[in-house]
């Protein structure tokens, strides 16, 4: 993955607007968070292949990280902490936020075809 | 001497971090070892250092790494096809039946798995419980012995001393070679113990030179 390029990510988001798309959204601090630090809580959320359509999408920069919000007909999807992006050969938009050690903290991915199970 | 040893853990690298030295000892004695690996670690948070994997490419990368580690350890590999971080949501009886079918074919004398509720990761706890259930359901004449591995911070307080404290320092290099085969995870996991140095320090050597197991007692 490469550091986020706002213009190209925005173009890609626009390309998916008003289409039926599949979304992967997750965030996690890892299964060992409270094992390694007693004061930590394990948190995470994960949705894969939710089928949605959004009529508006925007990427916003805030310091070193980015946020992306998708406006649905009757709802919202957003992700915060994104740092890197990639478009795969089969036109899936992958957005991810990595911590200083390169570990995945958050991912938001959009595709017209379902993601592999 | 064991007839055949089956290792049951959910993630590519659990075998190397958890039991590589013990596996090596069995292989040195000529005992066949089969690894039933639950998932492909699809949800791993370590993406390589520096990152070379992404969420979509990680399963294929970890599958390759798993195959390589099993070559290093000279064990037979069977992938069970579950998905990382979802094992606790699977039907326990179905997973147990799946494992029982495989165990009845292999007829191992020993099964090694995680100690349910003391293995930190929800997949470890769930697959460990399913593995124990699978063995419990077997014909008691053919039941293998089960060794379980606890890794939670409180296990010694609550369970006492493990029955088997296996000093594997003679096979430490082999263990590190197996761990390093899991390139996408290895550096990230090892760094938790030694945040600055890339080299093996005494802390890692001490932590990884003993592999501990409890012998499971079946009540019926």
Q: What is the ipTM of this complex?
A: 0.92
Q: Does B202 touch chain A (CB under 8 A)?
A: no
A103, A114, A116, best to mutate vs chain B, most B CBs in 10 Å: A103
**Strand (E) positions, chain B?**
5-9, 33-37, 76-79, 110-114, 145-149, 164-167, 210-215
pLDDT recorded at residue B194: 58
Q: Label residue B120 exposed, middle or buried (CB < 10 Å: 0-12, 13-18, 19+).
A: buried
If phi over 0 gives left and psi between -120 and 50 gives alpha, with beta otherwise, what is residue B99?
Answer: alpha
Residue B175 host element (H or E):
helix B172-181
B11, B17, B56, B126, best to mutate vs chain A, most A CBs in 10 Å: B56
CA-based nearest residue in chain B for residue A44:
B85
* A81 — pLDDT class (breaks 50, 70, 90): very high
SS3 A47: strand
pLDDT recorded at residue B190: 85
Q: Does A55 touch chain B (CB under 8 A)?
A: no
Query: What is the tens place of the pLDDT at every residue in A12-64?
Result: 999 999 999 999 999 999 889 999 889 999 999 999 999 999 999 999 999 98
Q: Label residue B188 exposed, middle or buried (CB < 10 Å: 0-12, 13-18, 19+).
A: buried
pLDDT recorded at residue B113: 98
CA-based nearest residue in chain B for residue A36:
B192
From first to last of the 220 residues of chain B, give the pLDDT tens digit: 999 999 999 999 999 999 999 999 999 999 999 999 999 999 999 999 889 999 999 999 999 999 999 999 999 999 999 999 999 999 999 999 999 999 999 999 999 999 999 999 999 999 999 999 999 999 999 999 999 999 999 999 999 999 999 999 999 999 999 999 999 999 888 887 755 555 667 778 888 899 999 999 998 6
Q: How far apart are CA A15 and CA A4, in angstroms?
A: 17
Q: How far apart are CA B120 and CA B160, in angstroms?
A: 17
Q: What pairing do the DSSP bridges indicate for beta strands A44-52 and B5-9?
A: unpaired
CA-based nearest residue in chain A for residue B55:
A107
Q: Does A66 touch chain B (CB under 8 A)?
A: no
CA distance B41 to chain A (A): 12
């Amino acid at each position: 993955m490469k550091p986020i390029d706002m213009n190209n990510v925005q173009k890609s988001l626009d390309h998916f607007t008003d289409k039926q798309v599949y979304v992967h959204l997750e965030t996690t601090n890892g299964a060992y968070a409270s094992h390694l630090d007693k004061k930590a809580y394990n948190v995470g959320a994960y949705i894969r292949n939710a089928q949605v359509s959004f009529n508006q999408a925007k990427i916003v920069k805030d310091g070193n990280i980015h946020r992306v919000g998708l406006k649905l007909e009757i709802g919202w999807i957003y992700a915060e902490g994104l740092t890197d992006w990639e478009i795969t050969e089969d036109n899936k938009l992958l957005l991810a936020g990595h911590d200083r050690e390169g570990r995945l903290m958050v991912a938001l991915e959009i595709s017209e075809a379902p993601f592999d199970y | 001497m064991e007839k055949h040893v089956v290792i049951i853990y959910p993630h590519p690298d659990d075998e190397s971090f958890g039991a590589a030295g013990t596996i090596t000892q069995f292989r040195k004695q000529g005992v066949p070892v089969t690894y039933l690996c639950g998932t492909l670690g699809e949800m791993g948070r370590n993406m390589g250092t520096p990152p070379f994997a992404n969420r979509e490419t990680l399963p294929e990368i970890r599958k390759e790494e798993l195959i390589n580690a099993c070559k290093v350890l000279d064990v037979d590999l069977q992938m069970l096809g579950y998905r990382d971080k979802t094992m606790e949501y699977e039907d326990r009886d179905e997973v147990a039946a799946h494992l029982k079918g495989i165990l009845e074919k292999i007829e191992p004398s020993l099964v090694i798995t995680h100690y349910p509720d003391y293995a930190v990761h929800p997949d470890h706890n769930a697959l460990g419980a399913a593995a124990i259930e699978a063995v419990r359901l077997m014909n008691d004449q053919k039941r293998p012995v089960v060794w379980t591995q606890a890794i939670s911070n409180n296990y010694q307080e609550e369970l006492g001393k493990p029955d088997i404290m296996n000093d594997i320092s003679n096979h430490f290099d082999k263990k590190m070679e197996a761990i390093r085969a899991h390139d996408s995870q290895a550096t990230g996991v090892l760094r938790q113990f030694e945040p600055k140095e890339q080299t093996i320090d005494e802390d890692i050597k001490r932590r990884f030179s003993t592999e501990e197991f409890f012998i499971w007692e079946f009540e019926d």
